[in-house]
Every structure is written in structure tokens, then in C-alpha cells.
Amino acid sequence: MSSDLIIGMAGSGGDGIVSAGDAFMSAAGKQGYHALLTKSFGPQIRGGESSCRLRLSTDPIVSPGGNLDLAVALNWDDFLKFGGELPVGGETSVIYDSKTGVAPDHLPLPAVTPREALSIPIGDMAKESAGTERAKNSVVLGLLAGWTGMDDESILAGIRKRFAKKSPEVVEGNERAFAAGVQYAKGHPLSQPRTLAPSKGLGQDKITVDGNEICAAAALFCGCEFFGGYPITPSSEIMHFLGREIWKYGGTMVQAEDEIAGIGAVVGASFAGKKAMTATSGPGMSLKTEMLGLATIAELPLVCVNVQRGGPSTGIPTKSEQSDLFQACFSAHGDSVRPVLAPISVKDTFYLTVEAFNIAEEYQTPVILLSDQEIAQRKETLILPDTSGIEVKERRRPTESELKDYQRFRITDSGVSPISQPGMKGGNYLASGIEHTESGAPTASGEAHARMNKKRIHKLDPLKHRDDLFIVEGDPRAPVALVAWGSVAGVVREAHRVVVAKGIRAKLLIPRLLYPVAEEVYQEFFHGVQAGLVVEQSHQGQLFRLIRMFVDLPPNVWSFKRSGSSPILPGAVRGRLERLILELQQRQVPETQQADG
């Protein structure tokens, strides 16, 4: 039996591959399994290739994992377009539609011989049982259910729900297609059984949710009353969710005419006293930059979610990348510092969205929540978040005595001044993009400008001492270090646990606060380190470069980086780390000994 199983599927748009993955995941969640589903699409607006990668386990999951255990190819052209996203290895069982005309011993998989290859008439089975090849995904669900031992009724319930608005004939046809798949699997067992071991969490109250949806839900939990934005892949689901739900809580969602108008409305809502947010991706973030500057100088709280994708320009809008870090930290005119937070999973997105709102309100600043396509659009099975102990912070409003001679930008010990809103008696002030005095009056005074710059920047210093915004795992005295952030953090976390189990003394740092840079946290972590890797999915290795701007890294700490659309797998991290350790050991050997060797 398998306690951990990775399934990858690919086909053309309309084949229902992603829907099949969703249905199988939902069934697994109902049976108590931990599950993680990532989706990937071609760049076309309509049609094109689509794929999903589903990992099921009896234990908690931190990453999509490595090579596939089961690979399903409805056609080879589409499957091969996903390359490293659906990696086939020597232990993979490959299932494909026999209509492709490919012989099992001539698969188009260069330099790879899978464990087995099964040519199955998936399309013909769908047409024979349901009357249409469009039921291929239901046949695939039946095959997977038969081979893994997943409960048939859980999957059939999902099929019925999906086609509930269709005719009874469509529902019954897909049920027959599913049954045909189950029957075929039972009559054609795999050479290596892939039956899932019984789950450990049956009966737990779990939800299946993606990162964008849980981000929007967290915003509502925080009391967000306004969303202004413009649809852009891969962040649009945040706007769609809030468009359905925010009105139920007395809030408003505005789909503006463009990205600039969207954040302009958010700045206005914040000025009016409302918790407000927007969401976008790299190109939209570029357009929002000037308005973010206005929020900075006017000290108005807001949350801006940037779901990163491949860039620059339109780039690869349907693939994940971590290349907007420099943009988040530095795409600002003037001396601006904006907090930048990055979640590491769907579950973490909930808590870090709450943190983003809390920081925005407490410090009266725009906050960038830097998600990425994988986390935002992947689904995870989660136990419902326990919100009983979560503090939701509100902005500091002026007291009655402070409103008698109201100084909106009054210099305080913390740098945070009471903020009024329209309608407060005595609380009127000018909130503009021009530099101002404590009262808000425009000024060109260099002295006042320096004073206000110091106020706006140094009020954020306490964030750099927030240990709870960093995760450290492993022996704190270990001589080998790993650093990772965002969606890559889970991959490195899994690799780290494997190498530690092998006896390698390594530690791991996962920063969820990326900016301002917490120099002391990094200095303490790297103390005594002899070698290390900063792992990230960007060509330049942006976090590595950012850390080096503020921290003197040990000489043998290197950047392990890769452009987006080419996932970093746990095995690659382990291999690079083991080579680094070997190099470190060789440097410890005296030259005479090396020569003798």
C-alpha cells in the first residue's frame, strides 16, 4: 500500500483534466487524506493544454513532491508541454490513450524508462459508455479509483454535483463512464500496486480551498469592507470571491476600468476609514506604483496582494515565478519602505493575510502580500482554521483631546499618529501626495521633509524584530544552512527533512517578512555557518541579492535559483546540498593529503 501518492494528468482544453483532479481531491479529502493539487495551463486565453498534479498522503504535505507515481496523458503533445511540471521517472506508471498511436515501448520520454506503460482506449470507452468522448475525464476518474482503492461513492457524488445543471442523461452517461474505468482498472492491475493506505484523519472537519479563496476569506475575517481592482491572471479569484461574498458583510467590491483606478479607489476608501485591499499580478503592480506612493506619504493603510507570475511584461501569465521581489521592495519613487510579506502555503495565506491587514492598520502603511501562482491557485485540504486566538488590529484613531488641535502627522515616539476620517469633528486634514508638515499643510522645507521621511521609515523598525514572522527548523548550531521563501519553501522544507534524517547537520530559515530586511535575524541564523544555499525561483536570485545588501553572508553561501515555469523539486535541492557539503569537506583536507589521494 502507498502512504504517499503523486498523480499527474494532462490533456487539451475541454478534456476536463483539472475537473477530474478536483473531483479526486475532494473525494480524498472526504476520506480524511491530506491532499495538494496544483494546476497549470498554456498561455492561450481559450483552449490549449491543461494539466494538474495531485499529491495524496496519510500525513501532512508541505510540497507537490517529486516524480510522478501515476502519469495520465490523454495526448502526448499536451503532456510534453509541461516538461518538469509533470516529471516521469523510473518508478512511474504511465497511462495514456491508445488513440495516440504510440507503442508502449516507444514512449516520447527521452532518457526515461518508466516502470510500466499502459495503452488504454480511454476515448473509445467514454464514447461507448456515455455516447461522447467528452466523458474521458470520468473514465480516468474510474481508472484512478480502481487502482488506488478510493471510495467510488465519494467520486460519484462529485460527478453528480458537477453535472447537476445538465440533463439526467449527461449525469447517467458520466456515471457509466466512471464505472467503465473502475471495471477496466480491476481487470488490468498495475505491476506495482498503488492502493492508498487507510487515512488517519477520517471524520476530521476539512475544507478544500485554494490560496486566492482563503486570502479573500481572511480579508473578510479582518473586517475588510472595500475591494477595488481589475481582473488579471493569476489573482482574479480574489476579486471573484469578494464579489460574491463581501456584500454579505456590509462591504463593497468595485471592478474598476483599470489597475490604476482600482487602487485609487482603495486609497480613497482607506482615507474614508475603511479597511481596504486590492489584488493584482506583476504588470498591474507596475501600474499601481504611483498610487502606492500616495498611500505611503499620506500614511494610509491598505493591503495590495501581488500574485507573482512569469515576467517581464505579459510573460508567462499561467506559471509561477518569484521574480517580483525587487518590484515589491523597490518600485517606489522617493525614500519609501513598504512591508512585504510572503505566505508559504494555502493555509499560511490565511494567517499572513490577517497579518498584512494588522500591520497595515497598526503602522498606517500600504503592505504588499507577495503570493505566487502556485500557492494562489493550488488547492489544499485543510482543517478549518482556528480563529479564536487571532487578534484583529484597528488603526489608532484620535481621542477627543487630540482632535482639539488635530495634528494628523504629529511626531510620536512610535512614529504612528492618530488617524481621523471624514465626519470626525475637528478631524479634517489634507491628505495629498505633496510633502507636508505635522498638520498636513504642504511644505518644501528640507528640514520638514527629512523629519517626515524619518517618521515614515523608522516607524516600521519593530517589524524587523518580529521572530514570529520567520520559521527556523533544524539544529541552530548546524554548519550548513538553507533559506527559502514563498511556494519554494515547502519544497526546501521537504528536502531539509530528508537530509537531516540522513545525518546531515543542516538548518532552514523561511522568512515570511521579506522587507524591511531583518538584519539581526539573518546574522544570528548565519552565525557559524560554513556553507549554505538560498533557494528561489527567479533567474537573478532576488532574495539572495536582497539579503546581501544588508547582511555579510559567509563566503560559501550560494544562490540556487531557476527561472519560473521550471519547478524546483526536493530531489534537486538535496542533490545540490549534498554536492555543497562534499565540496566543503574537500576544502577541509590539507593540500598534501589531497595530492596523495
Q: What is the pLDDT of residues 461-481, one digit of tens each?
A: 999 999 999 999 999 999 999
Residue 596: inside a domain: no
Q: Looking at the structure, tell me whether residues 123 and 140 fall in a common domain.
A: yes
Q: Looking at the structure, tell me whether residues 416 and 517 fall in a common domain.
A: no
Contacts of 159 (CB under 8 A, 6+ apart): 23, 138, 141, 171, 174, 175, 178
> Does residue 355 register a pLDDT over 60?
yes
Contact indicator for 92, 115 with CB cutoff of 8 Å:
yes
Cα dihedral across residues 23, 29, 31, 34: positive or negative: positive
pLDDT tens digit sequence for 120-177: 999 999 999 999 999 999 999 999 999 999 999 999 998 998 888 899 999 999 999 9
Q: State the pLDDT confidence band at 596, using cuts at 50, 70 and 90.
A: very low
Q: What average pLDDT does this structure show over 211-237?
A: 97
Q: State the pLDDT confidence band at 47, using cuts at 50, 70 and 90.
A: low
Residue 269: inside a domain: yes
Least confident segment among 29-43, 179-193, 540-554:
29-43
Q: Looking at the structure, tell me whether residues 433 and 514 fall in a common domain.
A: no
Q: Looking at the structure, tell me whether residues 181 and 300 fall in a common domain.
A: no
SS3 305: strand
Q: Looking at the structure, tell me whether residues 120 and 165 fall in a common domain.
A: yes
Q: What average pLDDT does this structure show over 187-198?
A: 94
113: CATH: 3.40.920.10
> What pLDDT is stored for residue 593 in this prediction?
44
Q: Looking at the structure, tell me whether residues 92 and 216 fall in a common domain.
A: no
Residue 202: inside a domain: no
CA distances from 373 to 86, 381, 426 (A): 17, 18, 46
Burial of 407 (0-12, 13-18, 19+ CB in 10 A): middle
Q: How far is the C-alpha of 363 from the C-alpha of 223, rounded, in Å? A: 17
Residue 389: inside a domain: no
Residue 415: inside a domain: yes
Q: How far is the C-alpha of 102 from the C-alpha of 124, rounded, in Å? A: 16
Q: Looking at the structure, tell me whether residues 43 and 72 fall in a common domain.
A: yes
Residue 574: inside a domain: yes
Q: Which of 281, 316, 347 is nearest to 489 (CA)?
A: 347
**Domain count across the chain:** 4
Output DSSP code: residue 103: -
Q: Looking at the structure, tell me whether residues 478 and 451 fall in a common domain.
A: no
Q: How far is the C-alpha of 380 from the C-alpha of 565, rounded, in Å? A: 20
> What pLDDT is stored for residue 96 in this prediction?
96
Q: For the chain, what is the mean pLDDT?
A: 94
Domain-ending residue, one of 459, 480, 505:
459
Contact indicator for 486, 567 with CB cutoff of 8 Å:
no
Domain-ending residue, one of 354, 383, 412:
383
Domain-ending residue, one of 187, 218, 236:
187
> What pLDDT is stored for residue 595 in this prediction?
42
Q: Looking at the structure, tell me whether residues 546 and 568 fall in a common domain.
A: yes
Residue 198: inside a domain: no
pLDDT tens digit sequence for 279-324: 999 999 999 999 999 999 999 999 999 999 999 999 999 999 999 9
- Residue 288: alpha-carbon gap to chain centroid: 21
Contacts of 358 (CB under 8 A, 6+ apart): 222, 391, 392, 393
SS3 518: coil
C-alpha neighbours within 13 Å on the C-beta side of residue 124: 9
Q: Looking at the structure, tell me whether residues 179 and 118 fall in a common domain.
A: yes
What's the distance, Cα to Cα, between the start and end of the chain in Å? 46
Q: Which of 72, 180, 184, 183 is nearest to 135 (CA)?
A: 180
Residue 199: inside a domain: no
Q: Looking at the structure, tell me whether residues 370 and 517 fall in a common domain.
A: no
Task: Find residue 310's DSSP bridge partners.
Answer: 316
Q: How far is the C-alpha of 259 from the C-alpha of 238, rounded, in Å? A: 15
Domain that holds residue 233: 208-383
- The C-alpha torsion from 310 through 315 and 317 to 323, rounded to 10°, is 20
Q: Looking at the structure, tell me whether residues 520 and 415 fall in a common domain.
A: no
Least confident segment among 10-24, 395-409, 504-518:
10-24
486: CATH: 3.40.50.920
